[in-house]
Amino acid sequence: MALPGHPLRQASPYLPLSGRSARRRHLEHAIRRHALGESDLLLSIGTHFRSNETQHYSLKIPSTHIQLDLNPDAVGRVYPATVSLVGDSRAILDALVQQLPSQSPDPGWAQKVHDVRREVRDALTTYIGGYAEICHSLRERLDRRSVVARDVTIPSSQWGNRLLEMYSRETNIFPLGGGIGQGLAMGIGAACARPEVPTVVIAGDGGLAVHLGELASLAGSGAWCVVLVFNDAGYGVLRNMQRANGFAEAGVDLHTPDFALLARSLDLPFRRVGGPGTFDPALAEALALRGPAVIEIDVNALEPAPGAFVPPVHVPTADH
């Protein structure tokens, strides 16, 4: 948690990680060693400590843990809390600051935390390859009040929830239940509720296939909503899990529709992109329409090729 102007800014941030790979393990090591591993205590504020962000609950945290949450049931639910604080975070943090001693903290600690954050973000930006260009374009083109509705899909979980900056919580919509296919409906609702700025939906081809009929709802609504369909011709995350765990690929290759023809049948403006430099002009064109539009991203055409995303879930085997 960083509080500019307060000694609490020296507290170690909780830096989430998702996915398993040699690079992911390196990042986990960097966080443990340079941030959490060297911290005297951890102050977690409204932190869920989900499986994805804790490497399937293997992330080690300092033994002294102060957990603050508005929901009393969340405190100590995943990691034990040495001190439990329940209530409004602003009021409680202000009270904590007033109780801090006047002694100066380690002047190098804040810089160390910033360095770790930069290292993690830079490494992830490199790892996701061609996705990085899309992430940057979205933040540059969208209004800060624009809602980003993220369906459960690789771009959402690999970089949309960590590298894509959000400036207020109501602009970041995500189905907490974890089921695919809800993103488009949520995006249409958000676009209707906030018509003065564009809304963007991040969806995969598999998730969109679950609710193709919602495209007709989008067309009929006329809402200022741009649907980004990341098409890898299958259930990419399941394919990656099968490969990572030595299983034969099964049930992961989808018969996806021709999204250009589908959009045309609904009179929805459409662009297909993939190679370097193709996404940003397509996004600018779609946003300028001030209405519904669909952009299909050919994931297999992205350059550099993104690193595989494998969620840190336990896959049972015959031995374990």
Per-residue model confidence as pLDDT tens digits over 91-145: 999 998 888 887 666 778 878 888 888 888 999 999 999 999 999 999 999 999 9
Structural Rg of the chain based on CA atoms: 21
pLDDT at res. 230: 97
The overall average pLDDT reported for the chain is 87
The Cα–Cα gap between 261 and 303 comes to 26
User: How sure is the predictor about 5, in pLDDT bands with cuts at 50, 70 and 90?
Assistant: very low
Among 32-41, 206-215, 260-269, 291-300, name the one with the lowest average pLDDT: 32-41
Mean pLDDT of 279-301: 98
Q: What is the pLDDT of residue 114?
A: 84
Percent of the chain with pLDDT over 90: 62
Q: Determine the distance from the C-alpha atom of residue 195 to the mean position of all C-alpha atoms in its chain, rounded to a whole number.
A: 24
- Tell me how far apart the alpha carbons of residues 82 and 23 are, in angstroms, rounded to a whole number: 32
Band of residue 37 on the pLDDT scale cut at 50, 70, 90: confident
Amino acid at position 208, single letter? L
Q: What confidence score (pLDDT) does residue 91 get?
A: 95
* 132: its two tokens: 């990085």
| pLDDT for 23 | 47
List the structure tokens of 33.
């060693």
With cut-offs at 50, 70 and 90, classify the pLDDT of residue 39.
Answer: confident
Res. 18: pLDDT tops 60: no
Q: What is the pLDDT of residue 32?
A: 53
DSSP 150: E
pLDDT of residue 143: 97
What pLDDT is recorded for position 17? 40
pTM of the model: 0.83
Query: Are 143 and 197 within 8 A, CB to CB?
Result: yes
Measured CA to CA in angstroms, residue 300 lies from 49, 130, 138, 219, 305 at distances of 32, 10, 20, 28, 7
List for the chain the helix, strand, coil content (%; round to 5). Answer: 40, 15, 45
- Cβ neighbours for 126, distance < 8 A, ≥ 6 positions apart: 132
pLDDT score for 170: 93
